[in-house]
Amino acid sequence: MRFIHTSDWHLGKSLEGHSRLEEQEKFCEEFIEIVNENNIDMVIISGDIYDTSNPPAQAEKLFYKTVSKLADNGNRCVLIISGNHDNPERLAAVTPLAHEQGIIILGYPLSFTQEAKYKNFEIIESKEGCTKINIKGEKVTLITLPYPSERRLNEVIGSSDNDEERQKTYSEKIGNIFRSLEENFSEDDIKICVSHLFVVGGESTDSERPIQLGGSLLVDKKDLPSKAQYIALGHLHKPQKVSQRLNAYYSGSPLQYSKDERAYTKGAYIVDISAKENPTINPIYFKNYKPIEVFKCIGIEEAIKICEENKNRDIWSYFEINTDEVISQSDIKKMKELLKDIIEIRPIISSEYEHQNVDIKEKSMVELFKEFYTFSRGLEPKGELMDLFLDIISEEGDTQDETN
């Protein structure tokens, strides 16, 4: 049996306010092609389908269109779990339509599907956290743990009403769940685990929202299900193997979602797996549909030159400009006319300028704010923002009047 492991699509995610749907559409098209060309029997998506719990309709439409093509009306099994960004209820709401096509969507840790027979596979058994499927005569047991937030986890454990169980750390609780789910594995099965977790030692990037503030919801490697032949993880956006001992992989996100992800080639894993044997795991890489570039330049002239040189490339760009003076509006305009989709122009002012004396008393509050904003953000504050600022300073004035 051959499956593909992907995760963290984050459909609807933008880059500092710039929509990335166009790139996401390109990825979905390429992914469908890869799946068809490589004779994939099963698609596993390990969570974070969307970027927010309330995704835009366009993102939902893209997801439905894509998974429906992947499932090919019951020809191929598609299994999806929720991640920390997804609303489990909403993600799984499409189940009545999805189930007909052989698409399994599991929102909560205890979610399960229904037995059913499709063209090329059959769901032979389904219960909380475990799905058994027959694909081309091979029996596949999947143990699943959709993103277990602390609350959702306690709900699972709460049902056992055991005080001792409640005292355990997050990782221990996860470990116990996996150990009991592993009891569903039998030697003649293909054994796969699917989850959305932050494993200790995994390398993170800027685009993952922390699973919890303070980062206490970490899972130790020893608490991963060691009997699984492959552990398909979601959450971290850099593709990586997180255990020496186990085949525990993060497929990473399909797109570079923050500028610190520029160094990683994005892809998925294609896994050839049969019972009792070590699987063969091969990465497959996606195109970089619209690269993120960070340009570090000395002086505005160099920045303008870079814009000129790159004007025909479809890229997102960040500029860090070493300068000893404020970058003028006309220079910013010139840059933006040459090169589209500049995300940020950040002047790095030499220390000499920082210590220069500016007589603030000669300027109005509004002038100072405008200068500061332009200086720090690389663009002039918009009308709305100015209105808000004026509101705030006038309110400040009012309060002062009252107290005085």
Instruction: Give the binding site for Mn ion (CB under 5 A).
Output: 8, 48
Of residues 8 and 331, the one with the C-beta less far from Mn ion: 8
- Radius of gyration of the CA atoms of the chain, in A: 26
**Separation of alpha carbons 171 and 188, rounded Å:** 29
Of residues 48 and 223, the one with the C-beta less far from Mn ion: 48
Of residues 8 and 60, the one with the C-beta less far from Mn ion: 8
Write down the least CB distance from residue 268 to Mn ion, Å.
14
Write down the least CB distance from residue 269 to Mn ion, Å.
16
Write down the least CB distance from residue 173 to Mn ion, Å.
22
Write down the least CB distance from residue 235 to Mn ion, Å.
5
Of residues 41 and 48, the one with the C-beta less far from Mn ion: 48
Of residues 48 and 331, the one with the C-beta less far from Mn ion: 48
Q: Contact 55/83 with Cβ under 8 angstroms? A: no
Of residues 135 and 242, the one with the C-beta less far from Mn ion: 242
Write down the least CB distance from residue 108 to Mn ion, Å.
18
Write down the least CB distance from residue 24 to Mn ion, Å.
14
For tokens 């959709």, the residue is 146
* Residue 199, beta-bridge partner list: 219
Of residues 130 and 268, the one with the C-beta less far from Mn ion: 268
Write down the least CB distance from residue 135 to Mn ion, Å.
28
Write down the least CB distance from residue 380 to Mn ion, Å.
34
Question: Pick from 103, 21, 101, 11: which is nearest to 60 by CA?
Answer: 11
Of residues 8 and 261, the one with the C-beta less far from Mn ion: 8
Residue with the closest Cβ to Mn ion? 48
Altogether, the residues listed in the chain come to a count of 404
Query: Considering all CA atoms of the chain, what is the largest pairwise distance in Å, rounded to the nearest integer?
Result: 84
